[in-house]
Chains A and B, each alone.
Chain A
Amino acid sequence: MPGAATWSLDEGDYQRISEHLNELLKESNARCALLVDRAGQLLASVGEQMQFDPTAFASLTAADFSANDQLAQMLGEPEFASLFHQGEKESMYLADVARRVILVVLFDDRTTVGMVRLRVKQTVSDLAAVFEEMFSRSASDDLGTQKGGLLDGADDEIDKLFGD
């Protein structure tokens, strides 16, 4: 692989992901749930509107998870599949999904970490199935003729965008 692969998220994927996340919120009584890819890009968020910058939050989440991955390896563990950060009022629980995406759940004292952990397990397995399918679709697109798709033949437009 010469570089990192490209993949896409379509409206159907987004809807399926949102359904799983909403289900999780309903069952765990958490405040909000976000999905972030390992490169730090925010893919989806549902639940209460948070008072922070979601893009910055996503990049820090990915860095947090990556740093902990390395710590796990130093301890001889292949990974820490989940992380828990406890605050006075607000806490967050992070879980790996299919080694490609991170599920972040924010919750307060209306629920417990035990409840969140329990519900996250099911959501992780549901989301893993969605992502496996998405990534295998992207991989087969790369091999086939649909590569790029959206930006096919957009070279002139790209030149124009950058003032050439």
Chain B
Amino acid sequence: MSMINYASREINCKLVYYGPGLGGRTTNIELIYGKVAPDTRGKMVSLATETERTLFFDFLPVDLGTIRGFKTRFHLYTVPGQVYYNASRKLILKGVDGVVFVADSQLERSEANVESMQNLYDNMAEYGYDLTKIPFVIQYNKRDLPNAAPIEQLQEQLNPGWPVEDLAKQQETPDPYHPGEMLIEQVDGMWIERAPYFESVAVTGDGVFETLKALAKVVLKTLS
């Protein structure tokens, strides 16, 4: 639920990093915390277990610049990955403006990715939110590992596309981040749309800011 505060001249938006356990959501947030200028970020809060696994959420507010005299404040949240924390995971989605799905590229995590994606759809639906209509990007993390699945395979499993029913949107739309690829295209006579995707190695920072910026941009554009 983005909120425009004319009194403090701020636009506040909530972004949630979703995905399977140990996929790298917290690493994304920690890296952003470490890299942005201290005066553009707030305090980072982590509600974690003793073994540093996210119990409830991690939270980091960052300012990504000023538009028309208004500070753009993004509140980044991660959710716990373990299946049994679903109750708290769902709570974090309340009022979400944009979602990053952080997938673990390792072949053996394929089932966990699919399960988490299904869980994301289900939890969003319970709030009456439609994932195909809100700003949504996918990050394929851990691309540096030797057992990382090929991107084509991950795309097929996690981002096969959803039907585009709106006639006005039924036109080929190139993927600005991957030349030669399409975000909206006709496949076997049917128009489908896919979420933008990014490859990352969150521990080194590769792809982390690209993902954040892409999502933040779409969120702001939905307000314009």
Chain A contact residues, CB within 8 Å of chain B = 1-11, 13-14, 37-41, 43-44, 53, 55-56, 59-60, 62-63, 66-67, 70, 148, 150-155, 157-159, 161-164
Closest to B136 in A: A3
Stretch at the interface among B19-27, B28-36, B58-66, B186-194: B58-66
Lowest 5 CB-CB distances: which A-B pairs, in order? A39-B95, A2-B133, A14-B7, A3-B134, A151-B224
B101 within 8 A of A: no
Besides A10-B6, A59-B59, A161-B64, 19 other A-B contacts (C-beta < 8 A) = A2-B129, A3-B97, A4-B134, A6-B1, A9-B4, A14-B6, A38-B95, A39-B3, A39-B75, A39-B94, A40-B59, A55-B42, A56-B45, A59-B45, A59-B75, A67-B88, A151-B11, A154-B220, A155-B221
- Known: A1-B128, A39-B94, A56-B43. Contact between A161 and B65, CB under 8 A? yes
Cβ–Cβ contact B220 & A158, under 8 A: yes
Partner among B68, B94, B216 whose Cβ is within 8 Å of the Cβ of A66: B94
CA distance A72 to B91 in the complex (A): 14
Partner among B43, B95, B213, B221 whose Cβ is within 8 Å of the Cβ of A55: B43
Partner among B2, B5, B43, B72 whose Cβ is within 8 Å of the Cβ of A4: B2
Task: Tell me the B119-151 residues at the A interface (CB within 8 Å).
Answer: 127-130, 133-134
What is the number of contacts between chain A and chain B, taking CB atoms within 8 Å? Answer: 144
Cβ–Cβ contact A37 & B95, under 8 A: yes
- B195 CB → nearest A CB, Å: 14
Cβ–Cβ contact A150 & B97, under 8 A: no
B56 within 8 A of A: yes
CA distance A121 to B29 in the complex (A): 39
B102 within 8 A of A: no
B: number of interface residues (CB 8 Å) = 47
Closest to B93 in A: A4
Chain B contact residues, CB within 8 Å of chain A = 1-7, 11-12, 14, 42-43, 45, 47, 56-57, 59, 61, 64-65, 67-68, 70, 72, 75, 77, 87-88, 91-92, 94-97, 127-130, 133-134, 213, 216-217, 220-221, 223-224
Closest to B134 in A: A3
Per DSSP, chain B at the interface is: mixed
CA distance A153 to B67 in the complex (A): 12
- Which residues does chain A contribute within 8 Å of B75, judged by CB atoms? 39-41, 55, 59
Cβ–Cβ contact B91 & A70, under 8 A: yes
CA distance A53 to B38 in the complex (A): 14
- Known: A6-B4, A150-B68. Contact between A158 and B59, CB under 8 A? no
Partner among A44, A70, A162 whose Cβ is within 8 Å of the Cβ of B87: A70
Cβ–Cβ contact B91 & A8, under 8 A: no
- Known: A8-B4, A41-B12. Contact between A161 and B43, CB under 8 A? no
Interface centre among B1, B96, B133, B134 (most CB of A within 10 A): B1
- Known: A55-B61, A152-B224, A155-B224. Contact between A2 and B134, CB under 8 A? yes
Cβ–Cβ contact B67 & A151, under 8 A: yes
- Known: A6-B1, A43-B5. Contact between A159 and B217, CB under 8 A? yes
- Which residues does chain A contribute within 8 Å of B220, judged by CB atoms? 151, 154, 158, 161
Closest to B41 in A: A55
Closest to B64 in A: A161
- Which residues does chain A contribute within 8 Å of B94, judged by CB atoms? 38-39, 62, 66
- Which residues does chain A contribute within 8 Å of B87, judged by CB atoms? 70
Closest to A4 in B: B1
CA distance A152 to B68 in the complex (A): 10
Cβ–Cβ contact B7 & A4, under 8 A: no
Partner among B43, B47, B91 whose Cβ is within 8 Å of the Cβ of A53: B43
